[in-house]
Amino acid sequence: MSAEFVKLISDLHSERFNVHLEQLVTHQTPVGIFFGFELKPSDAVENIQTMFRAGLNVTCAIVLADRQADVLRNFVDVPVVALEDFERFGEENFPVKPQEVFLVELLRDRAFTPYFLRHGIEVITMLYSNRQHEYFSLVMKHLPELYAVHESFIDDESKKSFRAVIRGRLTGRVSDYRFAPEPQYFLDGFLPTAGDIAIDGGAYDGATALNFANLGAKVFAFEMDANNYRNCLARIGQNPNITLENFGLSDKEYEENYSSYGMSSYKDSSGNMRGKFIDLDTYVARKNLPRVDYIKLDIEGAELDMLHGAAKTITRCKPKMAVSAYHKPKDLWTLATYIKSLRPDYEFAFRHYRIDCTDYLLDDDQRAILKYFGLDWLMVNSGEFVLYCR
C-alpha cells in the first residue's frame, strides 16, 4: 500500500472531526461561527447554543455588516463582530480573534472561506457533523475498495485530490481540499471532440451542452426537471447540434416522482413532481445512434443507476466519461468499480472543483459584497468532484 494512503488513514484517526472537536474543547481553543448572506437570528442562536453545549470556547459570532451585528447582539451572549473588523482592528489587535471559524453548510456563505484563510483562520464546515462516526466507519470498512480506486488513477494529481476529498470530508477543514483550476467536467484529455456523439446527463441550464456543441460534438442532453427543461430549451434555442430531452437517465424506462429543487432536483418516490426516465441503452437503440463517444453525468445521486442502464453502450463503445462522484458517500468507490467491471481497460482521473456561481445563486448585491472583500464567485465546497474515464 502506498505510503501516502497509509499516512492518510493514520492521520484520520487523530484528525477527524469528532476527535478534533474534543481537542478544541480540551484546550479551550478560541473559535467563532460565521453567518453571512443568510443570517437568521433564530438559527444563529440555535447554532451558537449547540456549540456551547459541546463545550467549545466560542469567542465571537461573525456577520457581514454592522447592521447585522446590531440585530444579532439582541439575541446572543457572545461578542458579535462584522467581517470588516478584521481590517479595522488589524491582525494583532482583533479583540476576540478565533483560531478557527465554523461555517454552517450554506452555499453562498462558503464564498467567504478564502477571506478567513487569508487572515490565518482555519474554516471548519459542519458536513456530516451529526454522522461523523458513521461516515468514518464506512470509510474504514471500504478501505480496500477506496485503495483500489486510488491506485487506478493515471496521474499523481488525481491521487492527491482523491486523498484530499477523503481527508476533508472527515476533518471538515476546508484547507484539506485540493481544487482544480479548469472548469468542471473539462479536464484535458477527457473531452468530446469534433464529430463525437456526446451525452449530457443532467443538462440543468444547458451550459455544458452548449460547451460540448462548441467543441464540435453532436449532443444529446437530458434534463428530468420540467422547469429546468424549459429554461434549458430557451437557452439552447435552435442549436442544430443539440437534442434536448425531458427525461431523466436511469437503469430502465419508467415514470417516477422527483423533488424539484432547481440545480439540485433529484429522483424521489415521495417527491412533488412526476417525470419520465429512460435507460441509455434503450435510448441509443431507439434513436439508432451508431455509437456514443462521450458521457457527462451529474444527476443528483442516480449516477450508478444510469451506468447500469448504459452497460451495453459502455461495453461496446467505451466512451470517455465525466461522472459526478459526490452525491452519495459510496460513490467514491462504487462508480469506478462498476465501470471497471464493464471495461477493465478504462483509465481514470479525479478532480475536485469549486462551484462557479457567476451566472446563478448570487444576486447583484451579493456579487458586489464579494468584490468588496476581494473575493470571486467560485464557492469552495465539500462536493463537486468528478471521476474521469477514458
- Tens of pLDDT along 242-279? 999 999 999 999 999 998 888 888 888 888 899 999 99
Looking at the chain, the domain(s) classified CATH 3.40.50.720 span 19-125
221 contacts 245 by C-beta, under 8 angstroms: yes
In order of 99, 226, 283, 338, 343, the CA distances from 309 in angstroms are 49, 22, 10, 12, 15
Q: How far apart are CA 94 and CA 182, in angstroms?
A: 37
List of E strands, 126-194: none
CA 6 to chain centre: 25
How far apart CA 120 and CA 91 sit, in angstroms, is: 9
State the first-to-last Cα distance of the chain, in angstroms, to the nearest integer.
25
Q: Rounded distance, CA 318 to CA 379, Å?
A: 33
Alpha-carbon gap, residue 119 to 197, rounded angstroms: 48
With the CA atoms of 232, 201, 353 and 194 taken in that order, what torsion angle do they form, in degrees rounded to the nearest 10?
A: -90
Residues of the chain with pLDDT under 50: none
Write out the E strands in 71-154: 80-82, 100-103, 122-125
CA atoms of 218 and 197, how far apart (whole Å): 5
The topology (CATH level 3) of 197-389 is: Rossmann fold (3.40.50)
DSSP state of 109: G
The pLDDT, as a whole number, for residue 92 is 63
How far is the CA of 327 from the CAs of 110, 214, 302, in angstroms? 18, 28, 9
User: For 75-88, b where at least 16 C-beta lie within 10 A, e where not — what string?
Assistant: ebebbbbbbebbee
State the span(s) of the chain assigned CATH 3.40.50.150. 197-389
C-alpha cell at 194: 469534433
Distance separating alpha carbons of residues 122 and 368, to the nearest angstrom: 25
- Asked if 43 and 105 count as a contact pair (C-beta separation under 8 A), the reply is no
What topology is assigned to 19-125 in CATH? Answer: Rossmann fold (3.40.50)
Residue identified by cell 438559527 is 43
Per-residue model confidence (pLDDT) at position 261: 80
pLDDT, position 88: 74
Side chain identity at 145, as an amino acid letter?
E
Q: Indicate the pTM of the whole model.
A: 0.94
If DSSP codes are grouped into helix, strand and coil, which group holds residue 149? helix
Residue whose C-alpha is closest to residue 83's, from 59, 49, 60, 106:
60
Cell (9 digits) for 185: 467536467
Contact 198, 294 (CB under 8 A): yes
* 188-194 long-range contacts, CB within 8 A, separation 24+: 189/349, 189/390, 190/320, 190/321, 190/322, 190/349, 190/388, 190/389, 190/390, 191/215, 191/294, 191/320, 192/216, 192/217, 192/293, 192/294, 192/320, 193/217, 193/293
